[in-house]
Structure 1
Amino acid sequence: MLYSVVIPCYRSDQTIEHVVDQTREEMVRLGRANVEFVLVNDCSPDGGKTIQVLRKMAAEHRDVKVIDLARNSGQHNALMAALRHADGDVIIGMDDDGQTHPSQLGKLFETFDQGYDLVYGYYPEKKHNWFRNLGSKFNDLTINMMINKPKDVRTSSYFLVRKFVRDYAIQYKGSYTYLLGLFMRCTQNIASVPIRHFEREVGESGYTLGQLIRLWSSVLGFSVIPLRMASIAGFFFAGVGFIMAIVVFLMKFMRPDMSMGWPSLMCAITFFFGLNFMFLGMIGEYLGRMFLGMNREPQYVIKAMYNVSASAECDVDIDREVNRGEEIF
């Protein structure tokens, strides 16, 4: 059985080689030595340091495949590029910073071998700041609601998934990729395992607040619940406004000398206009994504590949949308 480790790389010139070496050693220790690594450079803005390290690794190790993207496409789109070039019967998703530590693989495999199609590692205690942890809790709450994720399943970027699930997931062509949504379309035979969350080996997270919001918003492509919530809220506030109008009319009828409050009226108008624009923006987000889909915006653009042969690529329609670069080694 072949195992494929897929890792998106972003400013990871100081960490990725150590992560790969540790993972290779741990897989040998677990008796699963037949492993390959698919590393995707997500256009790291570091003056070419990351791709230089990745090219060196590909030259020295035949089990290391490297894909260099021409522009930054985001973690999930970079993972889609890796998944399409992974040949393994089991795919292992990890990060490039050492926080998804190889020493925890045994715990994941112990559950995976019970017959699950997808196993996530989750962190009871995260090595993030309070703001990032708060955002994670909000993300879990909204994801549970919007894509009907089982409440007892907790997720992260550390996972094991079977090849047939990957084969269905990579048929997705939209530019707003959300892997959990894609995986849940394929199977509900999912489990999660508590694991230790390690400190980053070097540096800090490359995610800005805007990038985190964009990543979270990718779930909109897999649920219409926000639109339904907008409709429900619209009916609710319309009903409240109608009732308030009746109350004001009766009060004015009983007390003709009652003065109408201009400030309260302005507050109400401002609130409801803001609510309307928020819902219009939400609808516009859905329409915008439909527009981008119709214009066939690519998930990623490949600049070059190393240790990757054309025959190893998955035969899916998306390949016609993605520019292919040179193949080396």
Structure 2
Amino acid sequence: MKQLALVVPCYNEAEVLRETHTRLLEIVSQLIEAGRISSDSLIYFVDDGSADTTWSLIEELSATHAHTAGIKLSRNCGHQRALLAGLLHVEGDAVITVDADLQDDLAVIPEMLDAFSNGKDVVYGVRKGRESDTAFKRNTALAFYRFMHLMGAEVVDNHADYRLLSRRAIEHLKQFGETNLFLRGIIPLLGFPSGKVFYERHERHAGVSKYPLKRMLSFALDGITSFSMVPLRLIGIMGMAIFCVTSAMSAWVLAVALLGDSAVPGWASTVLPTYFLGGVQILCLGIIGEYLGKMYAEIKARPRFIIEQTTR
């Protein structure tokens, strides 16, 4: 039988943690009884520097339940790094990552294991639809996936971070050492056989979302700049386009000045190019600066996370 590990990143999830543990423990127990997984399978809660009682609850659950363990990061490192900390430090032939908010349907875990048994190293949990989202969130999510594809990044539509990885996939994932993490783009790069299971996403059981609009935009920007050079290439195309437009405008201004008397002296040749080129330069510097910032973070090669404490 295969050993299963469930990795659950937690950030201020004290309100929902007990219920999450109860449901996960029930599934693990059922799978063990059915002979699907070994008796040493574990649920790992990764505390991402929570400010509430999340870690004390994890310690309590770990002390009272044999199939529960905890990993505490020294500070809040972010959802992606907390996921990676769990993936790189847990034991298991197969590892499933799932959020603590109970929005992902845990009932499809047996389907993930079926796909794993059939030779899939990666099994993506994919939402069937987004009817439960607000119109704003649904449209921005669809725009994000389309834009990522347009930028040349390989991502799975309607997939977050609910997935199964085999031990072989995790061992190769260790070779990816980048600081700016976007696991939704990194995992497909592994190239191993993959499958999908589809599920309906539920409402959050308790607490509040840890991905407000500001963090969602930052996450999307990380994904784009980590996996696509298209924005930099667009700067070159934009420069060529500006050159052509400026040349045409210069010809028009010259024609008006030579053939007519309606031209306002100095206006067109000064105001329009100044505003236009100024805006384009600021935009281009912003894009280049974003990439330079990513390079700066990568070159420093600081630890992506520090594990302060574990319960095992």
Deviations 1:3-39 (A, max 9, x none): 1111110111122232232123224434334321221
| Residues 151-190 of structure 1 aligned to structure 2 (within 5 Å) | 154-187=158-191, 189-190=193-194
| Residues 244-323 of structure 1 aligned to structure 2 (within 5 Å) | 244-259=249-264, 262=267, 266=271, 268-307=273-312
Amino acid at match of 2:6: V
Task: Count residues with an aligned counterpart.
Answer: 304
Preserved contact between residue 40 and residue 68 of structure 1 (Cα < 8 Å): yes
Amino acid at match of 1:300: F
**Unpaired segments of 5 or more residues in structure 2?**
none
- What is the rounded CA distance, in whole Å, between the counterparts of 2:273 and 2:126 in structure 1? 44
> TM-score when scaled to structure 2?
0.88
Which stretch shows the higher mean deviation, 108-117 or 30-39?
A: 108-117
CA offset at residue 173 of structure 1? 2.7
Amino acid at match of 1:7: V
Preserved contact between residue 107 and residue 195 of structure 1 (Cα < 8 Å): no
Deviations 1:258-288 (A, max 9, x none): 2258489645533432222122111112112
Counterpart of 2:211 in structure 1 is 207
- What is the rounded CA distance, in whole Å, between the counterparts of 2:10 and 2:254 in structure 1? 64
Counterpart of 2:19 in structure 1 is 18
Deviations 1:220-250 (A, max 9, x none): 1232222112222222222222222222222
Off by >6 Å, runs of 4+ in structure 1: none
- What is the rounded CA distance, in whole Å, between the counterparts of 1:260 and 1:192 in structure 2? 65
SS of residue matched to 1:15: helix
Residue 238 of structure 2 is aligned to residue 233 of structure 1: yes
Residue 46 of structure 2 is aligned to residue 45 of structure 1: no
CA offset at residue 125 of structure 1? 2.9
Could you say if the C-alpha distance between residues 278 and 55 of structure 1 is closer, same or farther in structure 2, counting changes exceeding 3 Å? same
Deviations 1:151-174 (A, max 9, x none): 7x5422211122222112233333
Residue 71 of structure 2 is aligned to residue 70 of structure 1: no
Could you say if the C-alpha distance between residues 238 and 108 of structure 1 is closer, same or farther in structure 2, counting changes exceeding 3 Å? farther
Residue 5 of structure 2 is aligned to residue 4 of structure 1: yes
> TM-score when scaled to structure 1?
0.84
Paired-residue identity, %:
25
**Unpaired segments of 5 or more residues in structure 1?**
308-329
| Residues 31-110 of structure 1 aligned to structure 2 (within 5 Å) | 31=34, 32-34=36-38, 35-46=41-52, 49-110=53-114
- What is the rounded CA distance, in whole Å, between the counterparts of 1:12 and 1:265 in structure 2? 57
